[in-house]
Amino acid sequence: MKKSFLLLLLSTFSFLQSQETPNIIIMIGDGMGLTQITAGMYSNNNTIALEDFEFIGLSKTHALGQLVTDSAASGTAMACGIKTYNGVIGIDKNNAHQPSILELGQKKGYSTGLVVTSSVVHATPASFYAKVPSRKLYEDIALQLSQHSLDLIIGGGLDFFNKREDKRDLIKEMNQYEFVTDLKEFQNTTSDKIGFLTYKKEPPKKLEGRSPALDELVATSLEKLDARKKPFFLLVEGSQIDWGGHANEMDYMVSEFKEFDKTIEKVLDFAKKDGNTLVIVTADHETGGLTLKGGNLEKATVKGDFSTEGHSAAMVPVFSYGPFSKLFAGIYENTAIFEKMKQALNAEQ
């Protein structure tokens, strides 16, 4: 009798553990299609962190009424679970504002943050907190971010906060935040809410010396969020993989991917040690229509051609690790990424 009761107790405890609300980290390589990943892998001595992920799926990226998406529509699909028009952020076809997975997490008591290599008001990060009819309304997006209460805000775009047409200084208005100015300050601060606006406008290329490195920023962010002893939601974007594709510059694209891959490795190491962190790595779309035509494995070089300076309609891979990761296997619309994250979010605490 005692043995049966003990087995029942252990089984129940195991079930409850499996249902525990996990940390959720979504990492978006903007413009990172399968060929970008392949080019980065062969340029990195034929190895990448993505090889350690448990499940792989494919995401259909089309926008509402258009086969080729932009980052606003695709970001909104993943963040809010709806198809919308290109250029639109957080608003559906009926002009209704839709809550994002980050906002649902906040209601559940999650800590929240974003770390990007673009400005923090760019289309992809904005999809997780803003509701605007045009992605180009950067000052409106910055205002919404200033009122949103994320715990960590890291990326470029300082001028959209304190060099505004309306003359407001949102940095001063965000008096609950400590705004740090370098990596050391970020590492040392003990503030509950932290802003690190790394550049006045869009950050430069990695090839031009952008710093701090994305992996360093994310490693510190994980330390800060983990120390709070409650679940967290973190968005990480390797934003400029996309910009390298738009420029049709292989070196630009590959260097941005390599930094993103180093960041994935840091996140995966954290998830393996933590044991209750769901990691999703995907893209909003492919950029450049890249075709790989050759290269040299021993020299870790690749050669390729781009077919467009815009985006393509190719499906993009979705890699997942940790609790609920099995949900991300298969082929599905990009809106399903929201639904799958929501399942993880709604697990019993």
- Where in the sequence numbering do the catalytic residues fall? 71
Nearby residues of 23 by Cβ (< 8 Å), 6 or more positions away:
225, 231, 232, 233, 234, 271, 274, 276, 277, 278
User: Which DSSP string corresponds to 122-176?
Assistant: SHHHHTTT--BS-TT-HHHHHHHHHTT--SEEEEE-THHHHS-TT---HHHH-TT
The long-range contacts involving 132-138, CB below 8 angstroms and separated by at least 24 positions, are 132/88, 132/89, 132/90, 132/91, 133/87, 133/88, 133/91, 134/87, 134/88, 134/89, 135/70, 135/71, 135/72, 135/87, 135/88, 135/89, 136/87
Beta strands in the chain (DSSP E): 23-29, 55-60, 111-119, 152-156, 178-179, 194-197, 232-238, 277-282, 286-287, 290-296, 301-306, 311-312, 316-321, 330-333
Contact 319, 59 (CB under 8 A): no
